[in-house]
Amino acid sequence: MTATASTTTSVLTARALLLDMDGTLVNSDASVERCWRHWAGEHGLDPEEVLKVVHGRQGYATMAVLLPDRPMEQNYADNRVMLAQETADTEGVVPIPGAPAFMSAIAELPHALVTSANVALSDARMTAAALPMPRTRVTAEDVTASKPHPEGFLLGAATLGFAPDDCVVFEDSEAGIEAARAAGMRVVGVGPRASAMSPDAHVDDLTQLRVEALPTGEIALRFG
């Protein structure tokens, strides 16, 4: 596995790709913001401050950061309500530019979805964005700890049958990038939230990426 220096004209090689969903393949920001603004109002919190920490984590983990003295049982209960609201609210959910072509390019290559969403929410958003669901996916039901814990990415790699350093993660959020690094994986950052985290490579969206299957069985990711 190799990487060249520039995040705009770089190359990464991997044997498997692990893909976050929200902000990486699917633009669900409108739905996320509607649901979390409503929750913030119910709890007397500044919605702008809430929106700074919601991305990448499971809902209960975000609530624990925002309301650290509240019993975790209440966070789990609120999270169940939030998941139902987000699943029902797909207005404005669209693919990240380049995502349809990217998913087509990797269709026969080893890859998995690793998302903080549950099965129902990931189904709803991938369907709304008209993107194919990877055959392998890790959702909230499969893990005991939310990103930035590395459990999800490690499980994704193991399910595909690859070592962590054989994998490249696609992520948009601070929590997700921290999880990938904790798992010992390299990261392609997607979008503005990722740029501040100095990922191994960065793209504004997936139109800036080309995928090539190499004769060695590796996957070449070319940027710029």
Lookup: tokens for 163: 């070592």
Enumerate residues 6+ apart whose C-beta is below 8 A from 117: 21, 22, 83, 86, 125, 139, 140
| Spatial distance between the Cα atoms of 112 and 222, rounded to a whole number of angstroms | 19
Contact 170, 149 (CB under 8 A): no
Say whether 20 is catalytic: yes
Q: Which helix (H) or strand (E) holds 34?
A: helix 29-42
In this structure, what are the phi and psi dihedrals at residue 3, rounded to the nearest 5 degrees?
Answer: -145, 140
Say whether 172 is catalytic: no
How many Cα atoms within 13 Å fall on the side-chain side of residue 190? 28
Place of tokens 């987000």: 86
| Active-site option among 20, 166, 172, 200 | 20
CA 206 to chain centre: 14
Q: Which residues belong to the active site?
A: 20, 22
